[in-house]
A and B are shown apart, each in its own frame.
Chain A
């Protein structure tokens, strides 16, 4: 069975805001979480409504994103999309965690440092 996962991205990171993302990564996975296809869609403008339309049109099953407003969160939930929100850090790390079934909403996966020193 094909599972479709999407991550709104900002360079290599998960976009901090769902409504301000202009780039979306879509990953198609077959049974056993094998990556079948990976594509990036560049949106003409940032809009939470347009992004929701895109997710429905693409039949997305799971989304990993940064900050999202309650209204859109509930809408996506209502549309039976699994939402992992408030996740920060590199999208590859978040995807890896999701595959290992240990990703939670609110996970901060970015490296922590102060004045160049890891903390």
Chain B
């Protein structure tokens, strides 16, 4: 079992000082390394940034903990080792939440009484906020990284900055993939707590017993396996924001504990009688209907009232008039640049398919579809057979067709500079349903290939049996 040291600072004041507490209070990440660049100690700010606790990192090579690009290409510790100088560089790191964070690292040697190097101290600053000051922030039709221009989204964009400046608890609701996480982060980044940590907890991802220790922390010896004091996410989020995602999945006993915290703002780690007064703003999110859960006694009414100080409801993508086209263009441009592809855009048929699809997975699903299409496309435009095949197979594709067909033609009646192309094409029959489009696609492919089913199936991107099945479905078989 690993024994963590509890070091003291001698001779600075009359009594020895608690070193751990001292570096924990520094608001930027601090790593202390030995001569072999192994982690001797890390502070609370680094733990919040990276996800690694002092126990997890103890004695491990720092490149496996910091996981920065600089560690691999040009280790700053090695660069400054020979001439005792400190080195500052900008790089990035990937934390345990799989987030890539831009960072500024400053590295300096630790010397003994005789000026011999005994180790290194490294400070790590999260510079997301500085980098965000670029043009991205002022991009049209967006707030932080949220894109949209539908009336529903415009209303949200107007509300978000006001809510961000307040310190009230916020409840974000909406279907999966609507951007709840993005909104929560945007609120934190534009609030007065932006320099503090933003800690996310997925209430549905951990079993109840682990969740309690993860959220509120535990005292050494509180239960079997509690070999060190764990600060808990609330303590790590001190002076920042805590984001409780999937709050609807929070077990009832923990709802009571959270309620107690919301009342007196003091957390009691598991097994401890000593409380910690945490200055934390709470943002909660869920895709569940909390009112219904309250009615079914699965969510506490009083907790709902405390969280529901300000509510932001993110509409599903299918209800965001005109946003599907905007987001298709947005993601298309992103992936085209990222993948360095020379594609002009989606063909009319592909756009028709995309604009009429239901997007149960909302923006996340649309993003994945566009990424896939840009990846597999080889020509100058993306054709329907280069879209994921489930778009054609899914019964959802032709569910409530009339409702979705309106999305495709809604641009025609607007005079506000909305994108044109397929949506504004005159030839699109507004009464067309997905089966009729698909029937036409099959007939077109068969005409092109002089009735050769094998070649037609290739053009459509289907297997021969899928084509045969669909031909049978649409009565094309003679």
Contacts and interface: CB of A to CB of B under 8 A. Distances in A.
Interface in B158-206: none
Contacts of A75: 368, 371
Interface residues of B, number: 31
A17 B72 contact: yes
Contacts of B96: 86, 106
Given A16-B63, A16-B67, A88-B60, A70 B339 contact: no
B40 interface: yes
A16 B71 contact: yes
Given A17-B67, A78-B368, A67 B94 contact: yes
B59 A112 contact: yes
A118 B38 CA distance: 11
Interface stretch (B97-105, B256-264, B449-457, B466-474): B97-105
B371 A108 contact: no
Nearest to A49: B339
A112 B62 CA distance: 11
B20 interface: no
**Which has the most chain B C-beta neighbours within 10 Å: A16, A19, A20, A116?**
A16
B56 interface: yes
A115 interface: yes
A96 interface: no
A31 interface: no
B34, B60, B96: which has the most chain A beta carbons within 10 Å?
Answer: B60
Contacts of B100: 69
Interface of A: 10, 15-17, 19-20, 49, 66-70, 73, 75, 78, 85-86, 88-89, 106, 108, 110-116, 118-119
24 contacts: A10-B72, A15-B72, A16-B63, A16-B64, A17-B67, A17-B72, A19-B94, A20-B69, A66-B64, A66-B67, A67-B67, A67-B93, A67-B95, A67-B98, A69-B100, A73-B98, A75-B368, A88-B64, A106-B96, A112-B58, A113-B36, A113-B59, A114-B40, A115-B36
Given A69-B100, A70-B99, A112-B38, 4 more contacts: A16-B72, A66-B67, A69-B98, A88-B64
